[in-house]
């Protein structure tokens, strides 16, 4: 029956469509994204785990993205004015949206393990980056943040934008002195 169908020409449009679909799937899944450029300055953040785009490999040979300040700033800076449990009054944070960083590295996971220079770590859902304007703050009140003042990167949620963000769970996710994100 299939042979008769093929001979009558009925399968040609479907066959063409099937071939195009197979080619598109193979291109999307098998085509490696263009690698990120190498950082020129000090690496502020390394992103590894379930990513599709990077510029280096970790010790086990897995792809990772090493990002310096200029690479982060090229994603565009966002300002968040908010009070935090760690500061007095409302503070002005400037940094890059977490979702922009995840997009840059083609993150594929649903959770992020954020690790600080002192090895403190917290897990946050990728959905937080999509839902809220979570930033990786690089400046506090116009001044570049250093290790001494919770920098060079500090995960900041817009706490004042929604009452639901003002809780211990969200505060725990706000890793300061951030150095590594593992996408899981």
pLDDT digits (tens, 9 = 90+) for 116-170: 999 999 999 999 999 999 999 999 999 999 999 999 999 999 999 999 999 999 9
* Same-domain pairing of 15 and 79: no
Q: What is each CA distance from 145 to 46, 75, 120, 153, in whole angstroms?
A: 18, 18, 18, 7
* Same-domain pairing of 24 and 112: no
Domain count, the chain: 2
Q: What is the pTM of this model?
A: 0.82
* Same-domain pairing of 20 and 76: no
Residue 37 lies in a domain: no
Q: Where are the beta strands (DSSP E) in the chain?
A: 43-49, 56-57, 63-68, 78-83, 90-97, 111-116, 121-125, 135-140, 143-144, 154-156, 178-183
Burial of residue 68 (CB within 10 Å: 0-12, 13-18, 19+) is middle
| CB-based contact 159:104 (threshold 8 Å) | no
Quote the CA–CA distance of 28 and 130 in Å, as a whole number: 23
Residue 38 lies in a domain: no
């Amino acid at each position: 029956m299939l042979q008769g169908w093929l001979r009558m020409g009925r399968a040609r449009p479907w066959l063409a469509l099937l071939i195009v679909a197979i080619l598109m799937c193979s291109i999307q899944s098998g085509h490696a994204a263009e690698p990120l450029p190498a950082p020129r300055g000090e690496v502020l953040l390394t992103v590894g785990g379930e990513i599709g785009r990077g510029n280096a490999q970790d010790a086990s040979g897995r792809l990772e993205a090493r990002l310096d300040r200029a690479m982060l700033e090229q994603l565009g800076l966002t300002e968040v004015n908010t009070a935090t449990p760690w500061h007095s009054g409302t503070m002005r944070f400037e940094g890059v949206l977490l979702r922009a960083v995840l997009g840059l590295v083609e993150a594929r996971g649903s959770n992020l393990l954020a690790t600080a220079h002192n090895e403190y770590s917290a897990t946050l859902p990728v959905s937080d980056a999509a839902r809220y304007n979570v930033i990786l703050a690089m400046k506090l009140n116009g001044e570049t943040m250093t290790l001494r003042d919770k920098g060079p990167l500090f995960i900041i949620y817009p706490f004042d934008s929604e009452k639901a963000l003002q809780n211990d769970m969200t505060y725990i996710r706000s890793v300061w002195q951030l150095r590594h994100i593992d996408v899981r």
